[in-house]
Amino acid sequence: PARHFDTRTTEPISFFLSGLEELLAWQPDSNDDFNVSAVPLAKRQPPLHSRRPRTLVCHDMRGGYLEDRFIQGSATRNPYVFYHWRYIDIFVYFSHHTVTIPPVCWTNAAHRNGVPVLGTFITEWTDGQKLCEAFLAGGSEAYRAVGEQLARIAQHYHFDGWLVNIENTLSAAAVGNLAPFLRHLTEQVHRTVPGGLVIWYDSVLQNGTLRWQNELTEENRVFFDACDGLFTNYNWKEEHLERTRGLAGPRHTDVYVGVDVFARGDVIGGGFDTDKSLRLIRQHGLSAAIFAPGWVYEHLGEENFLRNENKFWASLAEYLPTHSICTLPLATSFSLGMGTSRFLAGKEEEPGPWYDLSAQEIQPLYPEREGRLSTSCCLQDAWCGGSSLRVQGTIPPGEEHVAVRLFSLQMPAPPKLFLTLLYKLEGPHPDELAVALELTTWDSGTCHEGNVTSLPEPNSWHHPRFLPAPPPGLAKLLAACDRGSNGWTSRCYELDLQDCSLRDLSLLVSRHQPSQRETPFTCLLGEVRVLDAASVAASPPEVQSLSASQLWWQ
């Protein structure tokens, strides 16, 4: 069927639903298995329901369902990717189709990095008005059926809820049922999707007229009260924020103030001035909804996209509280889910462009310090996948080393950790530098490294012990110990801890000889792993009930 498979290539594709009939007729279909997300939503800290102001990203690009619709990837050169997951809370996939089901590759990449994904239910113009009258102007059975279908779709495809956007006027009968519909949809999503969310877009008012408020008001509050949050329109000024903060009361972090990165209309700032909008939003303790950050790709071009993307998100970092990983194992080769070729064990396996966000790995923080440090993606060389992480910077005069924070962690430390690192030093004098991992912890009481008690300060710095060879019994898993290849150096470490919590994982670049000159460095990271020794020793669970379907032998 053309909905599930590309008519030109027969490859499986992600799809949307058009109109009420398609929505109500939808049911799970075995052709559809490709579209179900296979990656559970990773836990992270702080959780979504904490009272910290949040950041929502709404992805709207050229109508949606571009190369990202190919579930098994495509040979796309310079595709659009998103990888600053540590800085955001919610990802919305937006298009102008009635029911936007997020392409499964986005759900997989977001979930792997702990970010929930919402689809979009939108009605607009005269067609939208007719659609709304059809399901809202009658009795409760009609709108309840729509709410239940939307919840079933999110549950079936394993994404996390809906942005609801009614951008047309409504009759008195229809608007009277809108808040009950929204309440019913929210209840159904909460019941069927763990951690599910429904967010309302600031559009139609409680009297049925379409008038964007750019704030929470008495006219749209009834819809905010019926669901998990409000996404405001973009043409606000500071007084709108003040009034919203007052009206929202304790739910102020459930208001996502819209920021259009394309800066359409009368806005405070978009493009590389988006930080001006975010600064004001945060001053009022509100959440932010960054709309169409694909501006970087569409407006500035595909060629320098990765450089511009890092510049854009670095300019906002001050206003984007980051998230911590709270489970082990942590293992990543930093791949963005794209590349100009594919690598395995440091060797180019297959030249040629590829794009598959489902293959994106866990992404780090991307720290930037103007002129002194940059972290970016390197497509020219990788250990595994399509890219490695390039860390470039300088060790200042008189200082021995620089610590580059890769991951924020928040979990009780197990008694024993194994860590592995694969790296490659580039530049004129790599032999003058040493590379290692550093782990910081904070107390649960006092923290001990091995059996040496360190000071009970909030942070202790640990430099794990280098293992020249893997411990017996772990040779297979830690095979990389001191056995790099193709110019990559491999290192294994162990660390014993007691009574503390893990805080940060950093890359430590140091020089062998003290110097009064600054020392530049460029280090490619191919893979980092942090493993709980106890679970490493246990044998992995057996694969069960494996089935294969839809086979076509040629």
> pLDDT for 523-551, tens place per residue?
999 999 999 998 887 777 889 999 887 77
Mean pLDDT for 264-271 is 91
Mean pLDDT for 284-294 is 97
What local confidence, expressed as pLDDT, does residue 538 receive? 75
Mean pLDDT for 40-60 is 95
How far apart are alpha carbons 183 and 246 in whole angstroms? 23
277, 237 Cβ separation under 8 angstroms:
no
Task: Say yes or no to pLDDT of 289 above 50.
Answer: yes
Mean pLDDT for 22-27 is 97
In the structure, what pLDDT confidence band is assigned to residue 455 with cuts at 50, 70 and 90? very low
Task: Say yes or no to pLDDT of 479 above 70.
Answer: no
**H or E segment and range at residue 297:** helix 295-300
Task: Say yes or no to pLDDT of 458 above 70.
Answer: no
CB atoms within 10 A of CB 265: 12
In the structure, what pLDDT confidence band is assigned to residue 460 with cuts at 50, 70 and 90? confident
296, 312 Cβ separation under 8 angstroms:
yes
Closest of 442, 457, 368, 447 to residue 411, by C-alpha: 442
Angle at 285 between CA 121 and CA 295, to 5 degrees: 50
Task: Say yes or no to pLDDT of 452 above 50.
Answer: no
Give the sign of the dihedral formed by CA 88, CA 112, CA 343, CA 303.
Answer: negative
Mean pLDDT for 267-273 is 94
Output the six-digit token pair for 257: 């103030």
Looking at every residue in the chain, the average pLDDT score rounds to 92
Packing angle between helix 238-248 and helix 274-283, nearest 10 degrees?
A: 40
Cα-based distances in Å from 553 to 70, 399, 546: 21, 63, 19
Question: Which of 20-34, 332-346, 444-458 shows the lowest per-residue confidence on average (mean pLDDT)?
Answer: 444-458
Mean pLDDT for 491-516 is 92
What local confidence, expressed as pLDDT, does residue 393 receive? 95
Q: What's the pLDDT tens digit per position in 165-216? A: 999 999 999 999 999 999 999 999 999 999 999 999 999 999 999 999 999 9
In the structure, what pLDDT confidence band is assigned to residue 451 with cuts at 50, 70 and 90? very low
Q: What's the pLDDT tens digit per position in 387-435? A: 999 999 999 999 999 999 999 999 999 999 999 999 999 987 788 899 9
Mean pLDDT for 69-74 is 96
- With H, G, I as helix, E, B as strand and everything else as coil, classify residue 506: strand
Closest of 40, 44, 18 to residue 98, by C-alpha: 18
What local confidence, expressed as pLDDT, does residue 341 receive? 97
**Could you give the percent of the chain with pLDDT greater than 90?**
81
Task: Say yes or no to pLDDT of 447 above 60.
Answer: no
In the structure, what pLDDT confidence band is assigned to residue 66 with cuts at 50, 70 and 90? very high
Can you give the pTM of this predicted structure? 0.95
**Could you give the percent of the chain with pLDDT greater than 70?**
95
Task: Say yes or no to pLDDT of 478 above 90.
Answer: no
What residue segments make up the domains of the chain, in order of their start?
16-321, 330-536
Q: Where are the alpha helices (DSSP H) in 177-273?
A: 178-192, 221-226, 238-248
What local confidence, expressed as pLDDT, does residue 481 receive? 62
What local confidence, expressed as pLDDT, does residue 454 receive? 38
- DSSP secondary structure letters along 464-485: PEEESSPPTT-TTTTTTTT---
How far apart are alpha carbons 511 and 520 in whole angstroms? 10
**HSE (side-chain half, CA atoms, 13 Å) at 507:** 34
Output the six-digit token pair for 138: 């009658």
How far apart are alpha carbons 493 and 470 in whole angstroms? 9
In the structure, what pLDDT confidence band is assigned to residue 331 with cuts at 50, 70 and 90? very high
CATH number of this structure's domain 16-321, picked from the four choices 3.20.20.80, 2.40.30.10, 3.40.50.720, 3.40.50.300? 3.20.20.80
Residue 95 corresponds to which amino acid? S
Task: Say yes or no to pLDDT of 516 above 60.
Answer: yes
Residue 64 corresponds to which amino acid? G
Give the list of residues 6+ apart from residue 127 with CB closer than 8 angstroms, or none: none
Task: Say yes or no to pLDDT of 517 above 50.
Answer: yes
| 458 compared with 77, residue with greater pLDDT | 77
Task: Say yes or no to pLDDT of 87 above 80.
Answer: yes
Task: Say yes or no to pLDDT of 217 above 60.
Answer: yes
In the structure, what pLDDT confidence band is assigned to residue 55 with cuts at 50, 70 and 90? very high
Residue range 330-536 forms a domain whose CATH class is mainly beta
What local confidence, expressed as pLDDT, does residue 365 receive? 95
Mean pLDDT for 73-78 is 95
Give the sign of the dihedral formed by CA 302, CA 524, CA 336, CA 355.
Answer: positive
What local confidence, expressed as pLDDT, does residue 453 receive? 41
- With H, G, I as helix, E, B as strand and everything else as coil, classify residue 267: coil
Mean pLDDT for 106-117 is 98
